[in-house]
Amino acid sequence: MSNSRLPAELLDHIADLLHDERHALGNCCLVSKSWISRTRKHLFARIVFQNEAELESWKNTFPDPSTSPAHYATTLDVACSSVVTAADAEAGGWIRGFSRVVRLEVGNRLCEDETKISLVPLHGLSPVVKSLCMYSNGLPPPRTFDLALSFPLLEDLTVVSYFGPLAGDNDSSDRPAVQPLNSPAFTGSLKLSRGGVKRTARQLVSLPGGIHFRKLSLTQFYKNDLSLITGLVEGCSHTLESLDVEHSFGTTVQYLRPC
Amino acid sequence: MLNTALVRPFNICVRANYSLLPQGESGSASLDISGASKLRDVTFRINSSRVEWVTVALQTITPKSRDLRQISIYLPCYLTAVGTDVRKRFGDQVVGEWLDLDRLLVRFWESHSIRPIFARPDGEEWEEGDCIGSLLPETTRRGIVDLVC
């Protein structure tokens, strides 16, 4: 196969057609060196670290970050953010291998005390991040927001906070010393839910560069958040095409842990 | 004391009476989407029988929103029950809010040809005689609403 007369574009197309056939891709990856890259970009397109065991498995399989397939990942789901950032600190910037991630999802499935979790290791993880999803039990808003601001090309932002406002909402313990000069474009979609509505909306409307979302989806908010949502709508007045709102007043909202 | 609000569905300007609203419910906590001049579709997901906030939000839409094509409203399951006396079940206050919404949706149809979409969250088929016909008598009678699952 390494001496195949088939044009490279055709081989790429074959691998692309097999993008959701992991077993077939695994076999293709063994065909020859020339097939490794074109199959790995599908095999490692989405990397999920659900827990410490999965993280350890990755590190054992790919001990050298410089040769790991991390740079093939376009989506990185860090469901155990505390474990990943701790591992990154130990290995001296191990997470930076995921330098081509376009979509980053950050959560805390281990239900650890989020006031102690630092997201600084994830700041600017990849310069091409366009979509950031944060699933939090109570992460202090400045940390969420600082992470979002560290991606200059960010278009889509999702913040789901399972708890309402917390005492740590004014926390600024790991706020970076230097704020970025330019805030992200914020030209895609904004999804806020539950506690994330108030926390994130307040910060977004105060951005000096403004916000330019085309789609707003705001769920499980309270009546006294309506003025904040109006502020978001006004902030996106020249770009907003779609508005999706779901209120909680009149009902009791139960903030549930995701795990 | 009567609470009034300016209704501005495009070129129509009338006064709506919100005397049915309880004290403290009609304050400044409302959603104003008047600035969204490029808005194409708006969706409201309702978790209670109260719809005053939807009506108030829709009233803020102005003629500047020329691109608006779709208004969707997702209902809670209990608002789709069949054979219910809505006044007995929900009370005059709630029914009054729905009738306000009904009138506003009729005006949206007349002024902008927008057919509102009402969706059931449970995926079940709509049945004749369910609540929605009583809550939105004019829009359903005129057949200017799309009921989807």
Write the residue in B29, B45, B46 that is nearest to A224 by C-beta: B29
pLDDT of residue A242: 96
Contacts of A241 in chain B (CB under 8 A): 38-41, 67
Q: Do A241 and B39 touch (CB under 8 A)?
A: yes
Distance CA B71, CA A212 (A): 22
Whether the per-residue pLDDT at A117 is higher than 90: the answer is no
- CB contacts under 8 A, A 218-247 vs B, are 219, 223-224, 226-227, 229-230, 233-234, 236-247
Whether the per-residue pLDDT at A168 is higher than 80: the answer is no
Please state which of the ranges A168-172, B45-49, B107-111, B136-140 shows the lowest mean pLDDT: A168-172
Residue A63 vs residue A140, higher pLDDT: A63
Whether the per-residue pLDDT at B2 is higher than 70: the answer is no
- Tens-place pLDDT, residues B18-76: 322 333 333 446 889 998 989 999 999 988 888 999 999 999 998 778 889 999 999 88
Whether the CB-CB separation of A225 and A201 falls below 8 Å is answered with: yes
Sequence-distant (6+) residues with CB within 8 A of A135 are: A105, A106, A107, A108, A160, A162, A258
pLDDT of residue A249: 59
- Tens-place pLDDT, residues A43-60: 999 999 988 889 889 988
Distance CA A195, CA A201 (A): 10
pLDDT of residue A112: 67
Is the Cβ of A189 closer than 8 Å to some Cβ of chain B?
no
Contacts of A232 in chain B (CB under 8 A): none
pLDDT of residue A136: 78
Question: Which chain A residue's Cα is nearest to B67?
Answer: A241
So where are chain B's domains? 4-148
pLDDT of residue A166: 47
pLDDT of residue A111: 63
Whether the per-residue pLDDT at A42 is higher than 80: the answer is yes
**Strand-strand pairing, B70-74 and A46-49:** unpaired
- What token pair was written down for B106? 């009729």
pLDDT of residue A3: 56
pLDDT of residue A114: 67
- Tens-place pLDDT, residues A201-257: 888 888 888 899 999 999 877 777 888 889 999 999 999 999 999 887 554 333 333
- What token pair was written down for A93? 């910037």
pLDDT of residue A96: 86
Whether the per-residue pLDDT at B126 is higher than 80: the answer is no
So where are chain A's domains? 7-43, 44-129, 163-259
What's the mean pLDDT in A179-188? 76
What's the mean pLDDT in B80-92? 78
- pLDDT grade for A181, boundaries at 50, 70 and 90: low
Write the residue in A219, A223, A233 that is nearest to B33 by C-beta: A233
Question: Which chain A residue's Cα is nearest to B68?
Answer: A241
Is the Cβ of A43 closer than 8 Å to some Cβ of chain B?
no
Is the Cβ of A215 closer than 8 Å to some Cβ of chain B?
no
- Model ipTM? 0.78
- 3-class secondary structure per residue, chain A: CCCCCCCHHHHHHHHHHCCCCHHHHHHHHCCCHHHHHHHHHHHCCEEEECCHHHHHHHHHHCCCCCCCHHHHCCEEEECEHHHHHHHHHHHCCHHHHCCCCCEEEECECCCCCHHHCCCHHHCCCCCCCCEEEEEECCCCHHHHHHHHHCCCCCCEEEEEECCCCCHHHHCCCCCCCCCCCCCCCCCCEEEEEEHHHHHHHHHHCCCCCCCCCCEEEEEEECHHHHHHHHHHHHHCCCCCCEEEEEECCCCCCCCCCCC
Write the residue in B30, B31, B43 that is nearest to A244 by C-beta: B43
Q: What is the average pLDDT value for chain B, to the nearest integer?
A: 77
pLDDT of residue A158: 93
pLDDT of residue A220: 76
What's the mean pLDDT in B101-108? 94
Q: How much is the pTM?
A: 0.81
